[in-house]
Amino acid sequence: MSCPICKKTAHPTYRPFCSRRCADVDLGRWVTGGYAIETTEEPEEFSETPPFREGLEGDGKLH
């Protein structure tokens, strides 16, 4: 298996990468949106209350 960043042989410790450097390069691409897929869809509207909080009162208990 070759490293998806530099194409060297993958190292078992960093698989599928060859080194920590290449793993960090990949992580940086994820964080900065380098792997984002463009779309024409509009983002969904979010409610004020997250779904997991619906039904909870101020004391955090279900009512």
Instruction: Give the model confidence (pLDDT) of 8-47 as tens digits.
Output: 999 999 999 999 999 999 999 999 999 988 888 887 776 6
Instruction: Write down the pLDDT at residue 61.
Output: 58
Instruction: Write down the pLDDT at residue 56.
Output: 58
Report residue 53's pLDDT band, with 50, 70 and 90 as the boundaries.
low
Are the CB atoms for 58 and 50 separated by under 8 Å?
A: no
Residue 51 has pLDDT above 70, yes or no: no
Instruction: Write down the pLDDT at residue 42.
Output: 82
3-state secondary structure of 43: coil
Cα distance from N-terminal residue to C-terminal residue, the chain: 54
Instruction: Write down the pLDDT at residue 45.
Output: 77
